[in-house]
Amino acid sequence: MKIIMLGAPGAGKGTQAKMIADRYGIPHVSTGDIFRANIKNGTKLGMEAKQYMDKGLLVPDELTVKILLDRVAEEDCRNGYVLDGFPRTIPQAEVLDEALAGLGEKIDYAIDVEVPDENIVKRMGGRRACLSCGATYHIEHVPPKKEGVCDVCGQELVLRDDDKPETVRNRLKVYHEQTQPLIEFYQAKGVLKSVDGTMDMKDVFAAIEKILEA
């Protein structure tokens, strides 16, 4: 099963992608997590990506597409995966489609998690991330057991630099201009499904399960 999560930054793509990955035993592949791991390890890719991420801009397709295609070519992705944060542009989606077509494969579902912009800025200010293992929390909705500490790996939780309000507004602008057109792209392919992302995260997941098990 190959699934793409669509939606604005902060819509809950990562939250739902992790639940899907757990439930169906497929890997959760997040380009944002891959970039953040590279930044943390001080790699050349990380240093390049950071310049764009800190401004709320997209990392150029040339850098992004290769890391994603390399990742999904790994052994654990053989039976499918859930992509979170990729594709974010039409050219990225086209390259992915071509690569899959070359293998006789295709995307099965593109799930759009719908949340209005007004809710997003509020949500992002409360997001706390573990840069070590990629776990995500929210100070109100999903607090860690001990404030500021990751439940999974015990590392410190941080407010991501790109989750500060000014950058979030820029990311939303970039989302509407460059990523939202993917909704029509996948609708035309007959694989688009939409869920109301303003519901409680368990209810959002129940709606997704219903789609995947229909």
Catalytically annotated residue among 13, 18, 36, 71: 13
Residue-by-residue DSSP string for the chain? -EEEEE-STTSSHHHHHHHHHHHHT--EEEHHHHHHHHHHTT-HHHHHHHHHHTTTPPPPHHHHHHHHHHHHTSGGGTT-EEEES---SHHHHHHHHHHHHHTT----EEEEEE--HHHHHHHHHHEEEETTT--EEETTTB--SSTTB-TTT-PBEE--GGGSHHHHHHHHHHIIIIITHHHHHHHHTT-EEEEETTS-HHHHHHHHHHHHT-
CB nearer to ligand AMP: give 8 or 208. 8
Please select the residue that binds ligand AMP; options are 59, 96, 107, 182, rule is CB under 6 A: 59
171 annotated active-site: yes
160 annotated active-site: yes
Binding mask 105-144 for ligand AMP (x = CB under 6 A): ----------------------------------------
Kindly determine how many residues on this chain lie close enough to bind ligand AMP according to the rule CB under 6 A.
Answer: 18
210 annotated active-site: no
Q: Is 134 in the site for ligand ADP (CB under 6 A)?
A: no
CB nearer to ligand ADP: give 66 or 122. 122
Q: How far is the CB of 135 from ligand AMP (least distance, A)?
A: 13
CB nearer to ligand ADP: give 37 or 99. 37
Q: Is 205 in the site for ligand AMP (CB under 6 A)?
A: no
Q: How far apart are CA 1 and CA 77, in angstroms?
A: 10
Q: How far apart are CA 149 and CA 131, in angstroms?
A: 11
Query: Which positions from 167 through 196 interact with ligand AMP, judged by CB under 6 A?
Result: 171
Q: How far is the CB of 21 from ligand ADP (least distance, A)?
A: 13
Q: Is 197 in the site for ligand AMP (CB under 6 A)?
A: no
Of 211, 124, 111, nearest in space to 166 by CA: 124
**Which amino acid is residue 198, in one-letter code?**
T
Please select the residue that binds ligand ADP; options are 2, 3, 10, 86, rule is CB under 6 A: 10
Tokens of 123: 């949500």
Give the catalytic positions in this structure: 13, 88, 127, 160, 171
Which stretches of the chain bind ligand ADP, using CB under 6 A?
A: 7, 9-15, 84, 123, 126-127, 136-138, 141-142, 197, 199-201, 204
